[in-house]
Every structure is written in structure tokens, then in C-alpha cells.
Chains A and B, each alone.
Chain A
Amino acid sequence: MKLLNCKRGKSFRIINLPYDQTLGIFSITSGSIIKVLAKQPFKGPVLLQINRRKVAIGYDIAKQIMVEEVVSFGLS
């Protein structure tokens, strides 16, 4: 599913994302687990939590990111 359609407050695993040097620095890579904290109005940035840091990603990049929901630990 698309990152943009994700529910706030839940955790997701990134399965596909566009190449961008800066994303890698913030360890936003394929397979990383992220939490959607907030989505800004008017196609504004999506605020993610990754590990313990918070990074806002512009709409144009966010719309290309695909994720899958992470079911709670130990079950999957």
C-alpha cells in the first residue's frame, strides 16, 4: 500500500522507495520500519518516525513510497 494512505500511529515496513541519497542517511531504506506520525495538509510533508528520530518527507517523495503493515511482534 502507499505510504500516503497509511493510518497515523501505526508501524509499517518500507517495501519500495525512490532513490535519494538523503533518505539513506536517515536510514529510510527498503525494509526499514517506520511509523507515520502526522500528515500535513495541502499535500504537505509526511512526518515519519524511524528508530527514535523524526523526519518529514515531502509529498513528492512520499507518494512514491510503498509500505506494508507490520503486525505486532512475534505473530508474523
Chain B
Amino acid sequence: MVCHNHNNTVIEGLSHTIYLVGSPNVGKSVVFSKLTGHHVISANYSGTTIDIMSGKLRLGAETWQVIDLPGIYSLDANSEAESVTARALTNDGLIICVLDASHLSRDLQLAFDIQKYQKPIIYLLNLVDVAKRQGITIEEEKLSRLLGAPVIPTVATKNIGIEEIKKTIPHLSYETSQKDKKLGDQSDQTIDDMIQEVENYTPHTPAYLDRVGDLLIKPFPGLIIAVFILLIALAIVVGGGKGLRTLILLPIINDWIIPFITNIVDLVVDQGVIHRLLVGEFGILVKGIEWPFALIFPYVLLFYFVLSFLEDSGYLPRLAILVEGILNKIGLPGQNIVPFIMGYGCAVPAILGTRAATSYKQRLIVTSLISIGVPCTAQTGAFIALLGDQSMLALGFVFGLSILVICIAGSLLNHIIPGDKEPVIIEVPPLLLPDRSAIFKKIAFRLKHFLVEAEIPMMLGILLAALIVETGLINWLGHALEPVIVHWLGLPKEASLTLILGIIRRELAVMPLLDMQLTTLQLITGAVVALFYIPCLSVFIVIVKEFRLKIASYLLIGTTLFAIFIGGLVHQIGQWLP
């Protein structure tokens, strides 16, 4: 990660520090990205920034530290995000307060409250394009007078106004601190009066996108459209991924790259252990390329394409509102469907994402469910590679079982874990056509992250597999685990490898099964065990950090036993079926 995590430390206030403050989903993170050139994940709904991010902005000879604070509605320190922001603002620096031009009445109170910190402030009037679409124009000179500070209209996603911010910052820093300046005249006027003064609203028939946005959130046709959208997403990821894999990536890698590498290794290295470690059954130069790039990459790419599009369009909160009631009925925290969907990408950001606004109980439920039964995109890719070619029915069964277990586990945890139900209040963001370059950057960022985060552990995992196989440790392991693997699960001895590798990464609990010539029942059993088996090492670490070791250990032991129990059940029942 390029960004530093300041969550647990006091933020050092340099005089050259800029704090980005504003309510959720006004685009602080986009402004941050544009100012610093660092990419941070932003999306069109509240609470994407869960950590404080910092980056550097170079202006002439000077370097400024820019700090992106989590979105807040007020400075009353009611939530973790609010107290973090309030604490950070006691340090020196200047404030960029981002306001939403389409919802100025909501943000104006925060705009005034922030003045009590007596720092130089620049106000950004962001989302002026959305406001305009809704028939709202703001007179920024008047607003600037009322606030007693510069106001810059911006459309951060489209780079509009960013240069102006950079020009304004140095001037502001040389001004005397606002201590001597008259604070805004809030006492004379109410927020409503001020809005009357600066805002011009011409009601007009809602723009096309706003009408679509409204339709998407009505039970009819919203629910029907939701089903369609999910089916299309599934078709893009599963169908498109399979196409990419079989038509493009596998031929290139298996017919060109791997023979090329094998030939070179043949020339340089003599037959023997090292040769086998490099290009043998679990050769890191063979499997280390084939598995991540040919089998997993296409699904990761397409999943993040779909996810990024849905995130930036503002559809996800609409989906959360539509299904909240239904999911609540089956014991799932419906308003948390967003981190849940993220979990199908990668559990790490999903678990971190539960921090945004939810209670401890909700966080724990979502985290547990993701750990137990939500396959990450890499593992999904592995399942499709393992089962998709054999039988689509088997693939459907595994995913169906996953959903069934999630529902039952959700309902159980909801009863077991103490705590109240959390009130649901969700603001509906405007529906936007995602900006192409923003989506592209976001996918690139996530793919880069995947390649760094996944490729190295995967290589290490494959190396471990190769060592276990080459040293003969596999026989010992197979013997030790025989009662479980062979008798209870009905898998060949070598499958014990999956239980070891699965600790490192989720998809590694699936991949070794690919070359074992298994029956369909064995494939399903193996897939079921891998699905419910412990989440990967990085997820475990995140759970320890977020919930302490005790809960992480419960999850670790619980998922392992559960995976083997259900896997065995599938095998034992499957044996008796025709």
C-alpha cells in the first residue's frame, strides 16, 4: 500500500499539513487522489474511507502532507470516525472542507462547526455537476462571503477545479490565521436563510438518470431489475472469465510461455530435485504462472470490473435498501450487503469495510459469514476451473450450499451474539454514469494489489507443495491424515496437501485437486471442504487485528472442523446416491 495507516497514532501536525474534511460520500477521497496522485479506493456510497490516509502534494518548492479523514456528518464525536477527525483537527495545518453542492443544507452546519478549530480553510463545492443536473446552482461568491473563506466549485472526478485548489493553498498559508478574522455570521442567520440566499433551485422534470435511479429503488420494478443485474454480473464474471481463460490465456500460457520456460530450464539445470522444483509437478515456474495468470486472473479482472462499476454508479446502497427486509427475515444483516458483496472479491477489504457504520455485533456476524462461506474471487476462479469443465451442476451445488450455510449461520449468529438490532438509515446517493478513467484506475489499482498480495504467497505455497511432494513428506502427511482425508472425505491421500496449502491462500485449497483425476463426487467434496475451510492467512491476520486473537482462533478452529464435517457429510451422502 502506498498509504500510511495512522489509525492508532496521533497525527503529527506539521504546519504544512492539509486536512480533508467533509460528510460521507462527498468525494474527499477523489480530491485526495487528485491532489496527491496516490490512488485510494473511493466509491459512490458512504464510508469508503475507513482509515486515515496520508499522501504528499508538491507545490513549487514546498511539500504538503495531505490527510484524508473519514466522512462525518458532525463533529460531536458520536462515532469512531467523528472522534478520529476531531482529534486530528487539534493539530496545526489547514483544512480543505469538501461540501456537496447538491446537498448544501446538510453540509453547511459542518462547514461552520469546522471553523471553531481556527485554521485557514478552503471550502470546495464539489459535485456541482450533480447539483446542476438536479436544477441547483450555488452562488459561490455569496457563500464565500458568508463563510469568510474561499469557496472553489469542483467536479473532482473530472479534474475540474483541482488546479484552482493548488493555486489557492499557498496564498492561504501566508495569510494570518483566521483567529483575527471574523468567523462566519452564523449567529445572525439560520442555515435555512443562508441556503435561500446562495442557492437557486429551478424545479424541473428529473433528469433521465435520476428517474432511472428512482425506479431502481422501488420494489417494483427494482427487485426484478436487481435480479437481472446480478445475473448479468454473474454472466460477465463466470462466462466471460471462462472465455478469457480457454480462448486466450490458457493457449498462450500452456502452448507458448510454459514450453519456452521449460526449454530454458532444461538447458540450464540438470534433471534432479532442483529441476523438478522449477518445472516438475508443482514446479513454481509452471504452476506459479499457470494458476494465477491463466486460471485465477480472468475472474479477478472481471469481478473487479463489475464491482467497480456497481460501486461508482451508486447502485449498491440501492440494492442494500431493496433487500434489507428480505435478508433480515433470514437472519442476515441486510444493510451490510455491500461489504458482503466485497467479500466475493476479497475478504480483507470487506472485513475492514464493516468498520464504516455498523455495530460490533453486525461486524462480527458479517466477518464470520465471510470467513465461513464466501469464496473470494480467486477461489471462485479455482472452483470454476475445477468443476466448471466437469459439470456446471456441481458448480451450482457448491455455490447453492454456500448460500444455504450463510443463511443458516447468519440466523444462528444473530441469536447467539448479544447486542441490539442496529437502526437502518441509509442515504441514497445520486445515480451516476461511472467515469471511465476512474473505473479503469480503480481496476488497475486492485489488480496490482492482487498481483502483489496473491502472487508471492501463491509462489511460496507452490514451492511448499513442491517441497512436500519432492521430499516425500507427502507420504507421511497422507498417512497421518488418512482417517480424515481418505476414510471420512473419500479423497486420495495426496489431497492432504490441500489442507496445508489452504492455510496460505483460499484458492490453494482447490488448485492441487486439478491434476488428481478425481471423480465428480470427489471434486465436489474437495470443493466443499475448500469453501468452508479457514480463510487465508491475510484474512486471519486482519481478523486478529480487528477482533483480537480469541475470536480469530474461534473462527479458525470452527471453520476447519465445519469444513471437514460438511465435506464428509457430502461424501457419505453422495456415496449412497445413484
Contacts and interface: CB of A to CB of B under 8 A. Distances in A.
B310 interface: no
B325 A44 contact: yes
A26 B106 contact: yes
Main DSSP-derived SS at the A contact region: mixed
B74 interface: yes
Contact of B424 (A27, A51, A56): A56
A22 B24 CA distance: 13
Interface in A2-32: 20-23, 25-27
B102 A52 contact: yes
Nearest to A20: B423
Given A25-B73, A45-B325, A52-B134, A60 B423 contact: yes
A44 to B, nearest CB: 3
A6 B544 CA distance: 47
Contacts of B322: 40, 44
B324 A40 contact: yes
Contacts of A22: 73, 423, 425
A70 interface: no
B487 interface: no
A52 B206 CA distance: 11
B91 interface: no
B324 A58 contact: yes
B428 A56 contact: yes
A18 to B, nearest CB: 9
Interface stretch (B174-182, B214-222, B345-353, B449-457): B214-222
A58 B102 CA distance: 24
A37 B214 contact: yes
Interface in B460-486: none
Contacts of A53: 103, 106, 427-428
B103 A57 contact: no
A57 B222 CA distance: 17
A74 to B, nearest CB: 17
A39 B424 contact: no
A55 B425 contact: yes
Given A40-B321, A42-B328, A44-B321, A56 B425 contact: yes
Contacts of B212: none
B425 A54 contact: no
B329 interface: yes
Contacts of B74: 25
A63 to B, nearest CB: 12
The 3 A-B residue pairs with the shortest CB-CB distance in the complex, in nearest-first order: A44-B325, A58-B424, A42-B325
